[in-house]
Structure 1
Amino acid sequence: MKIHIIDDDEALRTALSRLLGACGYRVTVYESGDAFVRAETGDEAGCILLDVDMPGLSGLQLQDLLRSRNSILPIVFLTGNGDIAMSVRAIKAGAEDFLSKPIAKEDLLDAIGRAMLRYEAAAAHNSELSGLRKRAATLTAREREVFVLVVQGMLNKQIAFELGNTERTVKAHRHSLMEKLEAGSLAELVQMANRLGLARK
């Protein structure tokens, strides 16, 4: 697990880096949000300790940018002058925590621990969704049509009428798509359709 420290205060970056290094974490430091954006951070597990008020990209602006890029790195905000409105905005946008400087060691390590758990959960979710998308990609065009109609609650005979097929053919497509998607029930199919964005409102 790697911790990315983004703060324009060099003394704080150094102090946090030493503290977290001594706690067994690998740490990378950046003097600004722009420097972090330019860096090649890869897909390595970790979290971000992020200052709110910095030259260039502010902490909240960087948070918005990372969300737009679908980053799953949790953010723990660090601030010397944050207000309640700012902290509420950050938390609503998905921040793990909003800590005031000077930061108590226990509070910092607790927030990092929660952030790491959040990362692991998000990574597992993404991996599961990626696997589902790969399975869905193996469906034929007709199986995909049947899939969409099934999760809308249509019966086999209704689907057959809709698609101009026999009910027997629809049953075969339905059996095949459930095997390919590894779905054990209609309820699972509906959940999969929701996750794939195929379910109509």
Structure 2
Amino acid sequence: MRLNIHVIDDDEKSLRAIRSSLKGQGQHWQVHFHADEADYLNRRKADAPSCLILELKLAGVDGLDFQQRLRSAGEAPTIIFLTAQGSIPTVVQAMKQGAVEFLTKPVRPTELRAAVQQAEKIESIRWKQREEIRMRRQQLATLTRREREVFALVVAGYMNKVTAALLEINEGTVKIHRRHLMRKFSTTRLTELVRIAAMLGIKRSDESTDDDTRQEKPGKAG
């Protein structure tokens, strides 16, 4: 995984220190410097793993407000805050809003690198989860209407006999559909099906929480 490190800071001394701290730290880090938040928004790659090293107080911009705007838009990267001085309430708010670290200037190179490494681990997990969700949605799209109905009931904890009664089909047919589900989701465990269903927002209702996973009411066809 290649981590894009974005830096927004208007302090030249701080920028030189950041460049020095991150220089030559491996081929998996690519560092981008931005003059302000507008430049960052224009140049960032939203579809790539990234972290943002953000000065708390920029000219005309409050770092916490910018962090919150990114979160509200669902576009917040892992954020490392920098500041010459920060109060405890400010630190607490930043961490509650998802910041991975809050560093006081002048930042020690080892502290900054450790914070970026922590952000890298978080982004790695996040992007693996996104990739799995994408894969599971593709698998879900291969299910027939009846398989989706059986899927929703099975992961809700209904036994084969009850599922058959609710769908007005025989129990043997339910077992066949369950085998198809296991094969299509590449698993042999019911607990894994339950986890996948939770990930995709599948539930026993006319509609799931995801527009891509809409389910029809159980019908009478076998």
TM-score (norm 2): 0.81
Task: Say if 1:23 and 1:185 are closer, same or farther in 2 by CA, change over 3 A.
Answer: closer
Q: How far, CA to CA, are the matches of 2:50 and 2:14 in structure 1?
A: 19
CA contact (8 A) 2:21 2:112 kept: no
Structure 2 gap segments, 5+ residues each: 205-222
Number of matched residues?
Answer: 200
Shift of 1:58: 2.4
Point out the more displaced range, 183-192 or 40-49.
40-49
Task: Say if 1:26 and 1:155 are closer, same or farther in 2 by CA, change over 3 A.
Answer: closer
Q: How far, CA to CA, are the matches of 2:65 and 2:145 in structure 1?
A: 42
Shift of 1:81: 2.7
Partner of 1:109: 113
Task: Say if 1:72 and 1:142 are closer, same or farther in 2 by CA, change over 3 A.
Answer: farther
For the aligned residues, what is the CA RMSD?
Answer: 2.0
Shift of 1:64: 2.2
Partner of 2:22: 20
Candidates 170, 174, 180, aligned match of 2:174: 170
Q: How far, CA to CA, are the matches of 1:10 and 1:153 in structure 2?
A: 60
CA contact (8 A) 2:100 2:115 kept: yes
Task: Say if 1:147 and 1:57 are closer, same or farther in 2 by CA, change over 3 A.
Answer: farther
Aligned runs of 1:127-142 on 2, under 5 Å?
Answer: 127-142=131-146
Task: Say if 1:183 and 1:90 are closer, same or farther in 2 by CA, change over 3 A.
Answer: same
Candidates 119, 122, 126, aligned match of 1:122: 126
SS in 2 for 1:96: strand
Larger fraction in helix: 1
SS in 2 for 1:29: strand
Partner of 2:153: 149
Identity of aligned residues (%): 38
Partner of 2:89: 85
Q: How far, CA to CA, are the matches of 1:86 and 1:146 in structure 2?
A: 50
Letter in 1 for 2:21: L
Point out the more displaced range, 11-20 or 127-136.
11-20
Partner of 2:216: none
SS in 2 for 1:4: strand
Shift of 1:62: 2.5
Structure 1 gap segments, 5+ residues each: none
Shift of 1:154: 0.7
CA contact (8 A) 2:83 2:104 kept: yes
Residues 84-121 of structure 1, C-alpha deviation per residue, up to 9 Å, x if partnerless?
11111211222110011111111111111111111112
